């Protein structure tokens, strides 16, 4: 007489484990599936925009006559290029504020550092075409400098200047972030420290003996990469490069926030203490996002300077950092596309008001700063999402 098989005799392979059951059910560790980088509709819209910009801008700026209604003037190209640089800066701030919960009021420093790095190259490219026809930049001759400071060495090469554009903001951000985040400074205290940092740097760059042009900064650029900087072809190229960097920055930021790294960074924002209990060390994640954000701001500043034609310590003003925060808040914090929209919307309004009602612009900016958190807590993107939900329900 055979006895029934006991539970112990059943092989372990016949019983699915918890992990196998989770895999069979399509559920693992309670995590939602990773969202796609972009939806099909978003990819189609982005590709269409790239084609329109890549073909339309050169045709409108270089082929169509100035009498045509569709001609893209140098003024409009410079203004739009400046807005795109601001949009890159807003995107960078959204990475640390919208996804990591770090409100920085000092990102204008990284923007200006990138601008000064490329500005040093542009000043060296003037050569003997300056007012004093000297190997030294004009401001150094005026201040009775007899040789370039050591930190100007190598800046006559574009590749070296581009390296500085990335490395200088990255090093400054990493050093500042390491000591600040390791000390667990958070909230409003961190915001105040970042504002103090950029204010101190602004005062330093205002001094003539630092070798950065003092109050006047750098200006009167002649060439970039050997090409006349005011030539329509050069302006168009800079415009298209700025647009390409904006697209790549958006896609790169989107790739970060949708990855596992991005989920941990969002966890730092939503519950840093809880994340530490799960075995994560927030310091490395904060430093990574903070440094990437600083580098993006530096690149934005480097693209800004040759298009606008000047860089001075005023770009480090704490007010500029506050404006960046306003762009992000108006567009929609934690959305990536929202800060880009916010940068264009706020700066478009700024251009309109300063041209037609210059005495009221600061009042309008203050009104935005007060009303947006009260009436539009999720910004423009929040309104768009609300309208889309209502449309889907109907």
220-278 pLDDT, tens per residue?
Answer: 999 999 999 999 999 999 999 999 999 999 999 999 999 999 999 999 898 888 888 88
163-176 pLDDT, tens per residue?
Answer: 999 999 999 999 99
pLDDT reported for residue 198: 95
The pLDDT confidence band at residue 130, using thresholds 50, 70 and 90, is confident
pLDDT reported for residue 298: 97
Nearest to 123 by CA among 311, 352, 383, 342: 311
Residue 384 reports pLDDT greater than 70: yes
Residue 1 reports pLDDT greater than 50: no
Give dist(CA 337, CA 341) in Å, integer: 6
- Identify which has the larger pLDDT, 1 or 346: 346
pLDDT reported for residue 31: 57
pLDDT reported for residue 11: 41
- Strand (E) positions, 237-383? 310-311
User: What is the token pair recorded at 96?
Assistant: 């640390």
Give dist(CA 90, CA 297) in Å, integer: 8
Please state the rounded mean pLDDT for residues 186-200. 93
pLDDT reported for residue 90: 97
Please state the rounded mean pLDDT for residues 359-371. 79
- Strand (E) positions, the chain? 218-219, 223-224, 227-228, 310-311
DSSP secondary structure string, 304-334?
A: HHHHH-EE-GGGG-HHHHHHHHHHHHHH-TT
17-72 pLDDT, tens per residue?
Answer: 544 444 444 444 455 677 888 889 999 999 999 999 999 999 999 999 988 888 99
Q: Which of 32-46, 196-210, 311-325 has the lowest mean pLDDT?
A: 32-46
pLDDT reported for residue 23: 46
Start-to-end C-alpha separation, the chain: 70
Tell me the percentage of the chain whose pLDDT exceeds 90: 64
Give dist(CA 201, CA 222) in Å, integer: 27
3-state helix, strand, coil in the chain (%, to 5): 70, 0, 25
Q: Where are the domains of the chain?
A: 88-315, 317-394
The conformation of residue 230, written as its DSSP 8-state character, comes to: T
The pLDDT confidence band at residue 12, using thresholds 50, 70 and 90, is very low
Is the C-alpha dihedral spanning 59, 62, 64, 70 positive or negative? positive
Phi, psi of 326 (to 5 degrees): -65, -40
């Amino acid at each position: 007489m055979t006895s029934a098989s006991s539970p112990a005799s059943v092989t372990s392979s016949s019983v699915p484990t918890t992990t196998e059951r989770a895999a069979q059910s399509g559920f693992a560790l309670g995590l939602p599936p990773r969202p796609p980088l972009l939806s099909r509709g978003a990819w189609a819209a982005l590709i269409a925009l790239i084609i329109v910009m890549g073909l339309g801008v050169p045709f409108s700026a270089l082929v169509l006559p100035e009498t045509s209604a569709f001609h893209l003037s140098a003024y409009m190209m410079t203004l739009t290029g400046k807005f795109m640089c601001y949009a890159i800066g807003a995107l960078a701030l959204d990475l640390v504020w919208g996804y990591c919960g770090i409100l920085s009021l000092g990102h204008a420093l990284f923007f200006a550092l990138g601008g000064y790095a490329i500005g040093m190259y542009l000043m060296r490219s003037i050569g003997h075409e300056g007012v004093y026809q000297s190997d030294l930049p004009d401001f150094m001759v005026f201040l009775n400098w007899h040789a370039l400071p050591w930190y100007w060495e190598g800046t006559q090469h574009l590749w070296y200047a581009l390296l500085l554009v990335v490395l200088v903001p990255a090093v400054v951000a990493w050093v500042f972030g390491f000591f600040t985040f390791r000390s667990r400074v958070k909230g409003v205290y961190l915001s105040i420290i970042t504002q103090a940092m950029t204010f101190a740097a602004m005062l330093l760059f205002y001094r003539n003996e630092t070798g950065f042009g003092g109050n006047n900064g750098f200006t009167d650029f002649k060439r970039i990469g050997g090409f006349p900087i005011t030539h329509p072809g050069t302006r168009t190229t800079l415009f298209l490069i700025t647009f390409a960097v904006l697209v790549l920055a958006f896609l790169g930021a989107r790739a970060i926030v949708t990855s596992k790294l991005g989920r941990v960074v969002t966890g730092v924002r939503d519950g840093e203490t809880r994340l530490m209990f799960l075995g994560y060390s927030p310091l490395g994640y904060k430093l990574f996002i903070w440094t990437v954000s600083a580098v993006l701001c530096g690149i934005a500043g480097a693209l800004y300077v040759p298009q606008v034609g000047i860089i001075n310590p005023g770009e480090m003003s704490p007010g500029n950092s506050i404006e960046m925060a306003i762009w992000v808040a108006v567009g929609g914090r934690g959305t990536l596309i929202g800060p880009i929209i916010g940068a264009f919307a706020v700066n478009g309004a700024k251009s309109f008001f300063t041209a037609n009602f210059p005495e009221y612009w600061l009042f309008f900016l203050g009104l935005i700063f007060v009303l947006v958190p009260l009436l539009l807590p999720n910004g423009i993107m929040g309104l768009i999402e609300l309208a889309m939900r209502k449309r889907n329900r109907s």
